Amino acid sequence: MKAYFLSDLHLKSEDKDKAKLFINFLSSIDHNVSHLILLGDVFDFWIGEHTYFQKKFPHIVAQLQRIVQQGTEVHYFEGNHDIHLKRFWEKSVGAKVHPEKYTFYFENLKVRAEHGDLMNPKDKGYLFLRWLLRTKPLEILAHRIPGNLVGWIGERSSQVSRVYTARMTKDYTQNVLDFTRTYAMKECQKDPFDLLVTGHTHVKDDFEFNVRGKKSRSVNLGSWLDQPKVFEITPDQQQFIYLMLPVTGSAQ
């Protein structure tokens, strides 16, 4: 029995090396994996059930369908690059879609998982945009916009993502560590957990702390923009597994 956690792959197309690496990883998942947890921003852009995306990532969709059919629980958490997923990912793929946090049990561990975009209460602009994008009118629009417009929005989203990544200075990293760790401790005081797993910030972190004499752990998965990786938990251990890209080729 094991569970895998991934986030922030930001895949643009299936012909890139990181997408091929992800497909190979998915193909290796057998019935011994009880949970596959996708913590958002798997794709650089995916909105609604539009066929534009289904045609763009057919092998990834097929592998995830296979994994669900073999009995592995697939949980897909909406991020800020992939929203309004329920219609397609629940009905056609069989994944369980979570717009926000979700808590489940793995053996004796109480595990809370979420994308991580609610951890910084000071980011008022983003929090407003997050709310706006999830309103009912925009959800209806997301399922109806034409394919060429979807492609244009996706390209713009990629550009914004690259600007965001370029801002990752030492000061930025320390600020992220401060608010993510504070968030983990406050949330654990409200509703204790053994392990919190998040993404979104692109800053990998592994932090242990105590609340009321009980040890807990907060893990942020970072992103695949620096190094493709998976967080694995088994009854005996919790660890990062690093996946190796080919020496040559396009890494995005």
Please check whether residue 7 lies inside any domain of the structure. Answer: yes
CA 63 vs CA 22, 36, 91, 143, 220: distances in Å: 10, 12, 16, 24, 25
Q: What is the pLDDT of residues 10-29, one digit of tens each?
A: 999 999 999 999 999 999 99
Please check whether residue 72 lies inside any domain of the structure. Answer: yes
Please check whether residue 60 lies inside any domain of the structure. Answer: yes
Residue 170 has pLDDT above 80, yes or no: no
**What is the domain range of residue 36?**
2-242
Please check whether residue 247 lies inside any domain of the structure. Answer: no
Please check whether residue 103 lies inside any domain of the structure. Answer: yes
Lowest-pLDDT choice from 108-117, 121-130, 148-157: 148-157
User: CA–CA separation, 164 vs 251, rounded Å?
Assistant: 18
Q: How many domains does the chain have?
A: 1
Residue 34's CB: how many other CB atoms inside 10 A? Answer: 16
Facing residues of 242 across strands?
A: 229
Please check whether residue 252 lies inside any domain of the structure. Answer: no
Compute the average pLDDT of residues 61-68.
98
CATH number at residue 67: 3.60.21.10
- Write down the pLDDT at residue 139: 76
Lowest-pLDDT choice from 74-88, 143-157, 193-207: 143-157
| Cα angle, residue 191 at apex, residues 222 and 2 outer, rounded to 5° | 50
Instruction: For the chain, list the strands marked E by DSSP.
Output: 2-6, 33-38, 46-47, 73-77, 82-83, 96-98, 102-106, 109-113, 195-198, 204-211, 214-221, 229-233, 238-242
